[in-house]
Amino acid sequence: MSISEEKRYPRTGDRQTVYLNAVITNPNIKVGDYTMYNDFVNNPIDFEKNNVLYHYPINEDQLIIGKFCSIACGAKFIFTSANHTLKSLSTYPFPLFWETYGLAQKDVTAAWDKKGNIVIENDVWIGYEAVIMSGVHIGNGAIIGTRAVVTKDVAPYTIVGGVPAKPIKKRFDDETIKKLQLLCWWDWDKEQLREKMDDIMSGNIERL
């Protein structure tokens, strides 16, 4: 079940933090339960307008975000229409101005190179003013550093940073990552999570 409108603000007295799936209206943006966004500059309810950019229906591309993700203030998701095609001899987006040049209106998407969906899996932390580019897939448990620009896929439980973002280190050893991927704790119900919360927060993988 998705979180109800009444649970838009998960913290008493805090109007800077929202559960995203309680404020999203665009059918091409899909967000899992408990994923939260904090914004101390703008109204977090305006996430679609301020943070999901160049996301035009004509492309039919999607922003897909899993459960229990943490998205910091100013993080941006930039879609295909921000690109100018590299297949042409010119980077100028002539098809956008089809009326001026007598082009077919249906060919407007030839102005850019289609990159595809942005997919963020579960338990991902996206840092302050990080930028995620179209076509990127970020795995479970990854961390995106402050103001990183992510142009390539990020493996599960990997910390990346920089411009363009590059791997810094893995959060855990390969065996622990494998166990976490199999556990999928983000799919547990609230009672299971309450029971195992201390072990999750203390990093006790063996007790999970």
pLDDT category of residue 17 using cuts at 50, 70 and 90: very high
Active-site hit among 7, 8, 84, 114: 84
Average pLDDT over residues 48-58: 95
**pLDDT given for residue 38 in this prediction:** 98
**What are the structural domains, with CATH classification, of the chain?**
5-79+115-171 (2.160.10.10), 173-208 (no CATH)
Q: Cβ atoms within 10 A of the Cβ of 155, count?
A: 15
Nearest to 25 by CA among 7, 5, 53, 10: 5
**pLDDT given for residue 205 in this prediction:** 87
Q: Which pTM does this prediction carry?
A: 0.92
Asked whether residue 158 carries a pLDDT value surpassing 70, the answer given is: yes
Instruction: Dump pLDDT digits (tens) for 121-152.
Output: 999 999 999 999 999 999 999 999 999 999 99
**pLDDT given for residue 6 in this prediction:** 55
137 is catalytic: no
Asked whether residue 89 carries a pLDDT value surpassing 90, the answer given is: yes
